[in-house]
Copies of this chain bind each other. A is one copy, B any other.
Amino acid sequence: MVDITQKQSTHRTAVAQAVVKVSRKETIEAIKKGTVPKGDVLSMGRAAGFLGVKKTADLLPDCHPLPVEYCGIDYEMEGLEIKIIITVKTFYKTGVEVEAMHGASVVALTMYDMLKPLDKGVEIHYIKLLKKTGGKSDIGNQ
């Protein structure tokens, strides 16, 4: 584990995404109309994502535990794809990129799990960092 005892705390932000791709138009409609039998996919995904962000250091061996001071989750739907955009912030010695990416994957997996009875062809794509600020090297921040 990297030794961060001597680092200064700075304001850190990370934005990550995951894309859930369904196989049928009806799946998207069921999400929008709130008729998925297992419940409200977007709200339950949000709850799971918040918890997932906070549990990142519990699952990834090398990851420092840190105070998650903000987490926000938005959804963008287009065609058969639902893009999950997750923003995490802290004031600490290390960044929150992995937390944001882990949160995005947990939201995506929660959606997969809830949609499974409706659609056997759901896949998860493009879990990646969109932006980070506050560390030595900012990304995606033009």
The 5 A-B residue pairs with the shortest CB-CB distance, nearest first, are A43-B43, A47-B47, A124-B127, A3-B70, A47-B61
Shortest CB distance A98–B (Å)? 5
The answer to the question of A24 belonging to the interface, with a C-beta cut-off of 8 Å to chain B, is no
A105 and B89 contact, CB distance less than 8 A: no
A39 and B46 contact, CB distance less than 8 A: yes
Give the residue of B61, B67, B71, B109 whose beta carbon is less than 8 angstroms from that of A44.
B61
Which residue in chain B gives the minimum CB-CB distance to A53? B1
Please, what's the 1-or-0 string for A78-95, where 1 marks a CB less than 8 Å from any CB in chain B? 000000000001111100
Question: Which residues on B sit within 8 Å (CB–CB) of A109?
Answer: 59-60, 98, 101-102, 105, 127
B113 and A62 contact, CB distance less than 8 A: yes
Question: Which residues on B sit within 8 Å (CB–CB) of A106?
Answer: 59-60
Give the residue of B4, B67, B139 whose beta carbon is less than 8 angstroms from that of A65.
B67
Give the residue of B50, B66, B108 whose beta carbon is less than 8 angstroms from that of A62.
B50
Give the residue of B11, B65, B68 whose beta carbon is less than 8 angstroms from that of A68.
B65
B57 and A38 contact, CB distance less than 8 A: no
A98 and B116 contact, CB distance less than 8 A: yes
Please, what's the 1-or-0 string for A108-142, where 1 marks a CB less than 8 Å from any CB in chain B? 11101110110010011111100000000101000
Shortest CB distance A110–B (Å)? 5
The answer to the question of A55 belonging to the interface, with a C-beta cut-off of 8 Å to chain B, is yes
